[in-house]
Amino acid sequence: MKIGITGTGSHIPSIVTKNEDFLNHKFMETDGTPFEQKNNIIIEKFEAITGIANRRYAKPDLKTSDLGFLAAEEAIANAGIDKEELDYIIFAHNFGDLTPGKIQGDTLPSLATRVKHLLRIKNPKCVAYDLIFGCPGWIEGMIQATAFIKSGMAKKCLVIGGETLSRVVDQHDRDSMIFSDGAGATILEADTSSGEILSHASLTYANEEAYYLYFDKSNSPTSNDTRYIKMQGRKIYEFACINVPKAMASCLDESGVSIDEVKKIFIHQANEKMDDAIIKRFYKIYGKTMPKDIMPMSIQDLGNSSVATVPTLYDMVIKGNLANHEVNKGDVVMFASVGAGMNINAMVYRY
């Protein structure tokens, strides 16, 4: 059975937040002491490492479920299907719906249920549920949807990845400059003409790596007890560079496809320098040099929207909205991600 992506959609928030918008922030170390370096130097180094110049933030009246709905609506239209035929709606995220000014994430009801409600789907057999798997959540949702279709439990699935990380960032933490908002969605069907998933791989490292990404208080000693997204950047970088290439190679080997056939790699937009190092090491496993233009990047202008980065990036390329990148019929591409958990996954797909 060939299972392929028949529709894609994304929502890129309209608020552009530039690096210079952080010049007046009071960045602090984890112990509450101020950085010795001035903000312009901190920001300059940040951009050199991450590649981020701008990031997108959602309008205050739009929650994660709203972004997911907008991406889903576009994917359904792109696939040309009747929304009532959907068997599953899988929404991958991390923090639920976040309202500016409030300290709690909202996951009751699930974001997938909220999307189904916004889509006005009446069919009760369309099952909606959320998936918490860190940044690799959309790929994991695709893997689960593939299993449903292979088993005969489903024919059409909607998989969404969305997040509004701008609402859980600590204004006193320089790492907060990485994060952004957005949503991407795909329709997956058993359809011999729409492409084919060739293989996939998933891994969870939960010993010393479990809390490389976590929730904790602000770096500012005078802040209240609200919790924010935190990360051990150096450890994540080293972990990803060692383990993601191996997972990708395992996935590619299982597909039976040669590395020379891979045309594009859609990797989680976490950090431009880290992503580049991962892909170079992946090719090194096969005694190859990383080809030019193999790795589309949107992080420069969109930032790191966590679970939304891969489906958003794929949608942009498929629709010709990213300069110098395209995918043609029959091309083999790879999806890969790493994130909180620590989770890693990959997928080989023939377009």
Quote the CA–CA distance of 209 and 348 in Å, as a whole number: 26
Sheet-wide strand order for 343-350: 196-204, 343-350, 332-339, 262-267
DSSP string, 243-289: HHHHHHHHHHHHHT--GGGEEEEEE--S-HHHHHHHHHHHHHHTT-P
Confidence of residue 26 (pLDDT cuts 50, 70, 90): confident
Whether the pTM exceeds 0.85: the reply is yes
Quote the CA–CA distance of 63 and 111 in Å, as a whole number: 10
Quote the CA–CA distance of 239 and 285 in Å, as a whole number: 17
Mean pLDDT lowest among 64-68, 87-91, 283-287, 320-324: 320-324
Quote the CA–CA distance of 184 and 95 in Å, as a whole number: 16
* Packed helices 137-151 and 309-318: angle between N→C axes, nearest 10 degrees: 80
- Residue 207 backbone dihedrals phi, psi, to 5 degrees: -95, -110
Residue-wise pLDDT tens digits, 260-274 = 999 999 999 999 999
Strands (E) located in the chain? 3-11, 15-18, 54-57, 88-92, 127-131, 156-164, 181-190, 196-204, 213-217, 227-231, 262-267, 332-339, 343-350
Quote the CA–CA distance of 116 and 184 in Å, as a whole number: 16
pLDDT of amino acid 90 = 98
**39 has a pLDDT exceeding 70:** yes
Confidence of residue 24 (pLDDT cuts 50, 70, 90): confident
Closest residue by Cα to residue 328 from 256, 263, 260: 263
* Packed helices 233-255 and 272-285: angle between N→C axes, nearest 10 degrees: 40
* Packed helices 111-119 and 64-79: angle between N→C axes, nearest 10 degrees: 50
3-state helix, strand, coil split of the chain in percent (to 5) is 35, 25, 40
**192 has a pLDDT exceeding 70:** no
CA neighbours within 13 Å on the CB side: how many for 323? 2
Contact between residue 191 and residue 81 where contact means Cβ atoms under 8 Å apart: no
Residue-wise pLDDT tens digits, 121-172 = 999 999 999 999 999 999 999 999 999 999 999 999 999 999 999 999 988 8
Mean pLDDT, range 97-121, rounded to an integer? 92
pLDDT of amino acid 307 = 97
Q: How many helices, marked H, and strands, marked E, lie in the chain? A: 8, 13
Confidence of residue 103 (pLDDT cuts 50, 70, 90): confident
**28 has a pLDDT exceeding 90:** no
pLDDT of amino acid 250 = 97
Residue 345: other Cβ atoms inside 10 A = 30
Full set of structural domains in the chain with CATH:
3-193 (3.40.47.10), 198-350 (3.40.47.10)
**31 has a pLDDT exceeding 90:** no
Residue-wise pLDDT tens digits, 210-237 = 999 998 888 888 777 788 889 998 999 9
**37 has a pLDDT exceeding 90:** no
